[in-house]
Amino acid sequence: METTKMSSSEYIESVIKKVIARDPHQPEFHQAVKEVYESIQPALDANPEFQEASILERLAEPERVIQFRVPWYDDQGKLQVNRGFRVQFNSAIGPYKGGIRFHPSVYLGIIKFLGFEQIFKNSLTGLPMGGGKGGSDFDPKGKSDAEVMRFTQSFMLELNRHIGQFTDVPAGDIGVGGREIGFMYGMYRKIKNVHGTGVLTGKGLNYGGSLIRPEATGYGTVYFVQEALKDLKNDSFSGKTVGISGSGNVAQFATEKVLDLGGKVVTLSDSGGYIYDPDGIDRDKLAWVMDLKNVRRGRISEYATHFGGPVEYHAGRRPWEKQMDIALPSATQNEVNGAEAQTLIDNGVIAVGEGANMPSEPEAVDKFLAAGVIFGAAKAANAGGVATSGLEMSQNSLRLGWTREEVDQRLHGIMVNIYKMAAGAAKTYDTNLLGGVNIAGFLKVANSMLEQGHWA
């Protein structure tokens, strides 16, 4: 008996329903799947073989999920236990690649959403990297260096079994910076008795790291938006007022690159609230923020106390209520809601570049697109970090290090190419830039899976 083939839209809807039914308590993962699948229908219409090979079902199911306990002793000698995760999502185009996040909000749904996004982000870089993500509900905030070391060593005691330069290459994310990567790499080396520098990225320069890696995500976000401004509006960052959320690695270096390009950054934030500096965050102020966050590990509210004058601090609020020409949400997922998006639009925002992973809620994305705002989706706009991780892997394999200028030039070229790929796919499939981003990332992975058979 013949079965009636579903239309592409029916197929997409049926897969989304299955994903939700299978894991009903993972809303962030559902959101990520919907955002991609609902925008790639033109590619499915043009390639019916994807439905026949159940590509969407296979993409939405990780190849492997690893969950483990992480016991560690605090400074009082009390044994604590956290959960660790590694989701190895898709390896069709290369070894799993994606960061490790340490934050109390981490659970399997968060890691799956991040790993799913990583598949397409890595595809867009043009480098041979599959998608994965890991993390723990451990909170490094307020912990001593010794406590962080003991935790990360315990974390690596299990994680080492599942990673390798040709298998899975983790990096940093929220709560995991150079300190944590260093402790994890030291433990990996001790366990394995090898100097496998290609097994982690974001390493220190003294033991296999790459220049520009700390700057890469922030720089890359600005490079992507700059290219979009040039192509779509014949414009640039020069003379623009820019609002940035977050005050960690991505926000700091996005601020630095905006300054390089002649823009004025007026906001930064953390989990406590945001500062607004109408005079702009210049290089001296940025250096102070870097010391505050990276060395003293303080709160952004201290900026207002230190600099005073016209600086405002708004506790428990987000910066999107202020006027800005360009918004770069660079803190965490779902930090821009529909009402905030409307406020940005009413205040004249012309471009949004997502420095964080999925920082805009679906309603916010819809509003930006409807208003004609340039929208740089995270999997494209913040791909600079993983792109430079890929460049770090290349340098490790070659047993050499490139200069700062060489790495920055390659990063800029990758970000420009990502924009051109997305814009080209949008034109080919008659869709918007968001659709172009998702289609461009999807096609490479889907075709690789088809070519490798149903196990891929």
- pLDDT bucket at 454, cuts 50 / 70 / 90: confident
| Domain contains 450 | no
What's the pLDDT tens digit per position in 11-36?
A: 999 999 999 999 999 999 999 999 99
DSSP letters along 301-368, please?
HHHHHHH-TT-EEEET--GGGS--SEEE--S-TT-B-HHHHHHHHHTT--EEE--SSS-B-HHHHHHH
Residue 4 is predicted with a pLDDT of 65
DSSP 2: P
Alpha carbons 293 and 271: distance in angstroms, whole number: 13
| Domain contains 13 | no
Please check the confidence at residue 105 and state whether its pLDDT lies above 50.
Answer: yes
**Residue 363 burial by Cβ neighbours in a 10 Å radius (0-12, 13-18, 19+):** middle
Please check the confidence at residue 455 and state whether its pLDDT lies above 90.
Answer: no
Residue 1 is predicted with a pLDDT of 42
Alpha carbons 163 and 165: distance in angstroms, whole number: 7
| Domain contains 149 | yes
Averaged pLDDT for residues 278-301: 96
- Are 212 and 392 a contacting pair, CB within 8 Å? no
Coil, helix or strand at residue 257 = helix
Alpha carbons 121 and 221: distance in angstroms, whole number: 13
Torsion, CA 355, CA 360, CA 364, CA 370, rounded to 10:
50
**Whether 69 and 183 share a structural domain:** yes
- pLDDT bucket at 351, cuts 50 / 70 / 90: very high
Which of 343, 376, 409 finishes a domain?
A: 376
Alpha carbons 127 and 149: distance in angstroms, whole number: 32
- pLDDT bucket at 185, cuts 50 / 70 / 90: very high
- Rounded alpha-carbon distances, angstroms, from residue 385 to 130, 201, 210, 414, 426: 15, 10, 11, 11, 24
- pLDDT bucket at 44, cuts 50 / 70 / 90: very high
**Whether 162 and 263 share a structural domain:** no
| Domain contains 443 | no
- pLDDT bucket at 377, cuts 50 / 70 / 90: very high
Residue 172 is predicted with a pLDDT of 94
**Whether 135 and 273 share a structural domain:** no
**Whether 181 and 234 share a structural domain:** no
Tell me which residue has tokens 């579903």. Answer: 6
Alpha carbons 18 and 253: distance in angstroms, whole number: 40
| Domain contains 383 | no
Amino acid identity, position 27:
P
Residue 195 is predicted with a pLDDT of 83
Please check the confidence at residue 2 and state whether its pLDDT lies above 60.
Answer: no
**Whether 240 and 363 share a structural domain:** yes
- pLDDT bucket at 436, cuts 50 / 70 / 90: very high
For residue 260, the domain's CATH number is 3.40.50.720
Q: Mean pLDDT in the chain?
A: 96
Residue 173 is predicted with a pLDDT of 93
**Whether 240 and 116 share a structural domain:** no
**Whether 103 and 241 share a structural domain:** no
For residue 187, the domain's CATH number is 3.40.50.10860
| Domain contains 1 | no
What's the pLDDT tens digit per position in 402-429?
A: 999 999 999 999 999 999 999 999 999 9
| Domain contains 336 | yes
The residue length of the chain stands at 456
What's the pLDDT tens digit per position in 272-285?
A: 999 999 999 999 99
Averaged pLDDT for residues 159-168: 97
**Whether 223 and 337 share a structural domain:** yes
**Whether 223 and 372 share a structural domain:** yes
**Whether 245 and 360 share a structural domain:** yes
**Closest CA relative to residue 444, chosen from 107, 121, 178, 62:** 121
**Whether 75 and 111 share a structural domain:** yes
Amino acid identity, position 43:
A
| Domain contains 2 | no
Domain count across the chain:
2
What's the pLDDT tens digit per position in 49-73?
A: 999 999 999 999 999 999 999 999 9
Phi first, then psi, for residue 327 (nearest 5°) are: -115, 130
Which of 376, 395, 428 finishes a domain?
A: 376
What's the pLDDT tens digit per position in 387-401?
A: 999 999 999 999 999
Q: Domain containing 126: what range?
A: 64-199
* Catalytic annotation, residues: 133
Alpha carbons 247 and 342: distance in angstroms, whole number: 24
- Are 123 and 96 a contacting pair, CB within 8 Å? no
**Whether 178 and 238 share a structural domain:** no
